Chains A and B, each alone.
Chain A
Amino acid sequence: MTDFGEVRHDSADTSTTSRRFNLANDSIGSHDFWIEVPTGTHRFISLPAPTTRQRQLRKPLEEDGLILGHRRASEAAATETYSIPASARPLAYEAPVTREGAYSYTDEELFHDLGDLLGSLSHKYGDDPQMVATDVTRVLALVDFVQPGERQVYFTPGVERLLVPRPPEVSAEGQYAEQLETVFSGRFDEVAIYFRMGFAEAAAAARGE
């Protein structure tokens, strides 16, 4: 990925979300857009309806509230739509935040939570473990201005279509860390420990420790 988001054409009543915020992913046919309604403008992601297998993969993630936004579509529709927060943005272009405070979300917390999120994904599917098939930063979204205690990182809608079975010899954690290292270059080294801690905590939680 070389630039802010992906941009697609608009239809008459909608407009594509600006690039800095755009969470669309062409490879799964998702579209990030705004609709103007009398009460204001609202942001959505739409994508083709999932297959049965994809629905199964999504279920545990959805149950734990790990997917961004609220899914709107009925099970039968040809497309499904998520309403998502205005502040949600891709992880990839985030400048570092290091100032600490009870109301700051620093890089340390961010990468810890990413580790936790990806760690929980790794332990969701029992003896059919899954991992993200593409660059992991493409399926992660950050939400800003949250209430204390609220989650700040999520999987983007459609993540279930980008999962593949993890071969036993592959370390998902190692692969994710490598990808984060590529996207955040030297910066990731400083926070890699928090990422690993988050990942390990999720594993421990999954084992019921």
Chain B
Amino acid sequence: MSSLEIEIPTEAIGMLPIDHEQERIRDFSHALKRLQVIRPAEIDTDFTDERPVPFAIKRFLAFEHEDTLTFYTNPDVLGAPVDRVRFSPRISRVGKQSRHGVFFGDLQLGPGLQVPVAVKPHLDEERDSCLDEYFNTLAITQLGMSTLVELGFIYGDREEDPAYSITVLQEGLSTLDSVDWSSFYPDIEEHPGMLALWKGAAYQAAKLHAPGNRSHGDLAGRNVGEKGGALSDQTRVILLDWESATIGGQPPRDAEVRYSHSHSDITTIVESMCRSTDVDFRAGIGVFAGKSGDWWQGFRAVFLDSYLERRRQILDQTAADAATVRDVNEELAELEKSLQQDVAMYQDLALVS
């Protein structure tokens, strides 16, 4: 043995840190080898259903779904069946806070067709969330929101089958958690680029909430992204990760229903902005954490004023009836009040800790 070779004692091997990322990628490659079928998924979401997406998933499971492990592709992106897929991983900085452990790479779909992708595992008891993610994202796209493009999902019948949702990789995507916000607040006016990003996020949220029967379900900073590319492109801020979204088929009954949808999302954004980046549990993006000043006024200036302005603009443009106008105004007034309390609570908590 040369002096450069180091023998690792067997008992030390167990002490080496486990590379979960590498394990996930290995499992995914195994799953690809086990695939029996790769074909486009026929899915129709009926937006007049009471709950369009859960109903579409039920129909899929009843009529479309194969027994064996299958890669269902999005027919709009990959319309023809494929024989075989292989995966080669890429190295990244983004996506490291992902709860599911997203990873990135290239899918080789037969000769000459290679698609860069982001792969999200949905393991064990969370298997079915891969259906939620895929069907919700398709539905939200049909409803005119700009987001990531689904390539498809991998799903099988048996409990032990792995499940994955796969989106087309957006190489120029930057989520809010990949930005260092520590120098932004309170001198927000000195950062027009950062402010513009938040304004874009506020507009997207306003567009989502305007009908009153939709919510994103997990609107943390890491789920708001800016597509690189043209500055003039209005749709460059997108919301992603629609796994927990609610998309109603019926108009909202009253202001309270509207409020339940908008409040759950905006309060998540508030939490994400107020919480620090360097905690393990429920880490935020650290916009306000560690800063003195009036966080509520900061939140208004960074996000809420743009959101409310946009909501009212949309209301004006849609020639809503008197009852809707009343409901939306009631919803927004209530929203403002409760968010003020939320922000005050986070600021108090920060003072204590």
B178 neighbours in A (Cβ, 8 Å): 94-95
> Across the interface, do A18 and B91 meet the contact criterion of CB distance under 8 Å?
no
> Across the interface, do A103 and B180 meet the contact criterion of CB distance under 8 Å?
no
Chain B 268-308 residues near chain A, CB threshold 8 A: 277, 285
Q: At the interface, yes or no: A15 with Cβ under 8 Å from chain B?
A: yes
A93 neighbours in B (Cβ, 8 Å): 179-180
Q: At the interface, yes or no: A139 with Cβ under 8 Å from chain B?
A: no
B116 neighbours in A (Cβ, 8 Å): 145
Chain A 4-55 residues near chain B, CB threshold 8 A: 4-5, 7, 10, 15-21, 34, 41, 43
Contacting residue for B172 out of A16, A87, A101, CB 8 A: A87
- Categorize the interface residue count of chain B: 35 or more
The residue on A at minimum CB distance from B228 is: A21
Q: C-beta contact mask, B219-233 vs A, less than 8 Å → 1, else 0?
A: 000000011111111
Contacting residue for B191 out of A4, A97, A101, A142, CB 8 A: A4
B182 neighbours in A (Cβ, 8 Å): 185
Cα–Cα, bound, A41→B192 (Å): 25
Q: At the interface, yes or no: B124 with Cβ under 8 Å from chain A?
A: no
> Across the interface, do A3 and B192 meet the contact criterion of CB distance under 8 Å?
yes
Chain A 138-162 residues near chain B, CB threshold 8 A: 142, 144-148, 150, 152
Instruction: Identify 6 new A-B residue pairs, CB closer than 8 A, beyond the known A20-B193, A103-B92.
Output: A17-B231, A18-B229, A20-B228, A86-B228, A152-B91, A184-B180
Q: At the interface, yes or no: B25 with Cβ under 8 Å from chain A?
A: yes
Residues of B within 8 A of A (CB): 17, 19-22, 25, 88-94, 96-97, 103-104, 116, 169, 171-172, 174, 177-183, 187, 190-194, 196-197, 226-233, 236, 277, 285
Cα–Cα, bound, A97→B95 (Å): 10
Contacting residue for B232 out of A15, A96, A104, CB 8 A: A15
Q: At the interface, yes or no: A99 with Cβ under 8 Å from chain B?
A: yes
What would be 8 A-B contacts, judged by CB atoms less than 8 Å apart? A43-B229, A87-B172, A89-B228, A94-B180, A95-B179, A104-B21, A104-B91, A146-B90
